[in-house]
A = this chain, B = another copy of it.
Amino acid sequence: MKRKPTVIDVARRAGVSQPTVSRVLNNHPHIRESTRAKVLQAIQELQFTPDAVARSLVRSKSSTLGLIVGDLSNPFYAETAKCIIRSAHESDYEVIMLDTDYDDALFARCLRTLAAKRVDGIIVASVTRTDERVKELAAKGMPVVLYNRNLDDGSLPSVEADNYMGAYMAMRHLAALGHRKAAFIAGPFQFTTFYHRYRGFRAGMRDFGFDSRARLVYKGAYTYAEVLAFTRRLLERKDRPTAVFATTDQMAIAVLDAASRAGLRIPEDLSVIGYDNIDWADNPYIGLTTISAQKTAMAQLALQQLLRVIEAKDEAGDEKKNVVLEPQLVIRKTTGACPDSVKPGIPEPKIP
């Protein structure tokens, strides 16, 4: 592209300083009419149009946001990212999208990149519970809002669903169907989602009298292949569980896959419950019982909160808000009565 004239060219042509040009562009009141006329003439002669990059230098605003997710091919993130991108566009912000594949070094690099690009703010989904780098960036004045994930100290604004409660609700649902032997599948506990869902799972195990054996718990890399392999080994055991609680819908679908390969019927032989309520969970071929994390509300609230932080950032008393949404149990067809003789009975739900 032919190099466009900049405010500097305009200043030189008009014989004024660059800040004077900026003041004219921004309709500053204290400008002599003769100066304004000279600048406007130079603008016309050079066919200068103040573009977004130039304006960002003048106003220190890029109208660009950053969005960091762990895996865009996980529908939970594709669906929430679409919502954020569309809503941001309607508010005249565009979104630079970054995907970390849950790699910690890449996450740090993504933060540096967005800071160097001078985005106006960042929405982060892929953050560990104790990450310091995101706090440092926020301390330097970069507006940051976390979504779906949070820091242990809650020091940054965040929007998430109550992970502890969601997991507890999943266990209560399984208990009500008579299950007492459930496996638990999660990704790394350095993420709040998996950590608090595990805590809710443990509380549910205890309150509803589940059999608690460590070997029924998987926490690790949450690739489809690894979850599939774990589940296949799990289902080959003599004392296999009658239910599996997978802490993402993507993992739950890998569990359904393993069950199908092992010749088990769902839910007659095995109940499976997921977490997230991605669009696919509702597909009649999958029909996954799951916990809804209110993804659309979460995405919209995260963006709204970021825009509020951006607009308020020069003011004192910038309030930090940790928004926690209520999860919801969505019963579909992958959970059913326990095949064992255990009589279904609902222990009095004890919600802490």
Contacts and interface: CB of A to CB of B under 8 A. Distances in A.
B279 A280 contact: no
Contact of A285 (B78, B141, B260): B260
Contacts of A51: 116-118
Given A57-B53, A97-B95, A117-B52, A73 B64 contact: no
Q: Among A4, A6, A98, A283, find the residue whose CB has the most chain B CB atoms closer than 10 A.
A: A283
A75 B72 contact: no
A277 to B, nearest CB: 14
Contacts of A294: none
Interface string A37-76: 0000000000000011110110010111001000111010
B60 A3 contact: yes
Contacts of A140: 1
B283 A257 contact: yes
A81 interface: yes
B96 A95 contact: yes
Contact of A56 (B53, B98, B285, B286): B53
Nearest to A260: B284
A54 to B, nearest CB: 7
Contact of A284 (B95, B110, B257): B257
Interface stretch (A25-33, A82-90, A212-220): A82-90
Contact of A73 (B79, B141, B285, B313): B79
B285 A1 contact: no
A106 to B, nearest CB: 8
A261 interface: yes
A293 interface: no
A18 interface: yes
Contacts of A260: 284-285
A27 to B, nearest CB: 19
9 contacts: A53-B53, A53-B57, A94-B96, A95-B96, A95-B97, A96-B96, A257-B283, A260-B284, A285-B286
